[in-house]
């Protein structure tokens, strides 16, 4: 097991480095620097500013400096646009928000999705099965950027129950719509995967044996069927995580929740490279770590995996 974790880490770390270097090269290749504005600065001033941000040094020196400061101090450097803040400040401000509703969306997607899928599989061809299948098909065509306006229309404009946006320290009224909008399509996918996986498992010999020897159904499901059922769901969690973290951009823009997505899009329009890079690297790191955890969990649950 330990050697598996180490081997998996040996892939994750170079991946991260590639991401850092790749985004730096992209930024370096950008035509025009961040300080080329419509009113050109006097060359002396420009030279001073560039010296301050280290932009006057040769390419390899800049990249080494950047990578070293990112890797050793988690320092993404100063923001080019917000003069009084560093990229770390921006992330520190936005990330807790993203983490809060992201966490709840993930919890909702997994718990509701898995229970819906299991219920549908156990009571196949009952109303709950049709309901689950209907929901999962319907939600497939409702990605977050379609869900968000629809929710806003219903709950804020028509019913007036929920605030149309903002964060307000993460009060529950402000959390509901972001969480629903972000989790729905993943909830649907998880429900569908769970259902088909559970149906497959319930048809296997060892489940038949368990039922035949008189175990109560509850115990068969929980002790025997659940573990193999959850494996395909587990391997879907990686892509779902990527999707959700990407979707958080939409949530932030639409509900003005103030997460990192909002900074990301603002920076994208203002060419604030250092913020974009910082967030890209942060998100990439999270994704890679999450995939690592999923892989380890998978190897731990599934006895057939050799490592």
C-beta closer to other proteins: residue 220 or 228: 228
296 part of the interface to other proteins, by CB under 8 A: no
Q: How far apart are CA 272 and CA 284, in angstroms?
A: 18
DSSP 57: S
CB 244 within 8 A of CB 182: yes
Nearest to 142 by CA among 181, 108, 111, 175: 181
Tokens matching residue 98: 């993203």
Binding residue for other proteins, selected from 179, 253, 258, 274, defined by CB under 8 A: 253
Q: Kindly list the distances between the CA atom of residue 290 and the CA atoms of 104, 132, 248, 269, 293, in Å, as whole numbers in the listed order.
A: 16, 28, 16, 29, 5
Binding residue for other proteins, selected from 9, 13, 21, 26, defined by CB under 8 A: 26
Q: Kindly identify the residues of this chain, within the stretch 125-144, that bind other proteins according to CB under 8 A.
A: 137, 140-143
Tokens matching residue 81: 């646009």
* Sign of the dihedral through C-alpha 235, 237, 238, 240: positive
Nearest distance from residue 47's CB to other proteins, in Å? 23
189 part of the interface to other proteins, by CB under 8 A: no
Nearest distance from residue 141's CB to other proteins, in Å? 4
Q: How far apart are CA 304 and CA 133, in angstroms?
A: 30
Nearest distance from residue 116's CB to other proteins, in Å? 19
90 part of the interface to other proteins, by CB under 8 A: no
153 part of the interface to other proteins, by CB under 8 A: yes
C-beta closer to other proteins: residue 22 or 217: 22
CB 245 within 8 A of CB 102: yes
Backbone angles phi, psi at 80, to 5 degrees: -80, -25
For other proteins, which stretch binds (CB under 8 A), given 43-51, 95-103, 168-176, 273-281? 273-281
For other proteins, which stretch binds (CB under 8 A), given 38-46, 65-73, 124-132, 283-291? 283-291
Which distant-in-sequence residues (6+ apart) come within 8 Å of 84 by Cβ? none
Positions in the binding site for other proteins (CB under 8 A)? 11-12, 14-15, 18-19, 22-23, 26-27, 29-30, 137, 140-143, 145-146, 148-149, 152-153, 157, 238, 242, 245-246, 249-250, 253-254, 264-265, 268-269, 271, 273, 276-277, 279-280, 283-284, 287-288, 291
């Amino acid at each position: 097991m330990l050697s598996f974790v180490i081997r998996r880490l040996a892939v994750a770390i170079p991946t991260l480095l590639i991401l850092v270097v790749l985004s730096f090269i992209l930024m370096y290749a950008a035509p025009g620097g961040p300080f080329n504005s419509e009113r050109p600065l006097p060359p002396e001033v420009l030279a001073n500013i560039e010296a301050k941000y280290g932009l006057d040094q040769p390419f390899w020196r800049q990249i080494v400096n950047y990578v070293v400061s990112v890797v050793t101090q988690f320092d993404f450097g100063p923001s080019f646009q917000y003069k009084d803040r560093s990229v770390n400040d921006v992330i520190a401000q936005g990330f807790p928000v993203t983490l809060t509703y992201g966490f709840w969306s993930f919890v909702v997607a997994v718990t509701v999705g898995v229970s819906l899928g299991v219920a549908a599989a156990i009571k196949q061809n009952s109303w709950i099965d049709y309901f689950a299948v209907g929901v999962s098909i319907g939600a497939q065509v409702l990605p977050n950027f379609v869900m968000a306006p629809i929710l806003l229309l219903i709950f804020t404009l028509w019913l007036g129950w929920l605030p149309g946006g903002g964060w307000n320290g993460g009060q529950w009224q402000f959390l509901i719509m972001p969480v629903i909008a972000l989790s729905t399509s993943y909830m649907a996918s998880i429900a569908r995967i769970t259902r088909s996986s559970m149906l497959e498992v319930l048809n296997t010999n060892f489940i038949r044996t368990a039922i035949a020897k008189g175990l109560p159904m509850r115990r068969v499901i929980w002790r025997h069927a659940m573990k193999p059922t959850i494996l395909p769901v587990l391997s879907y969690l990686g892509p779902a995580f990527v999707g959700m973290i990407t979707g958080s951009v939409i949530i932030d823009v639409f509900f003005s929740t103030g997460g990192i997505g909002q900074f990301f899009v603002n920076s994208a329009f203002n060419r604030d490279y250092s913020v974009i890079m910082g967030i890209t690297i942060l998100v990439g790191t999270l994704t890679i770590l999450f995939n690592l955890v999923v892989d380890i969990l998978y190897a731990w649950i599934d006895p057939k995996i050799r490592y």
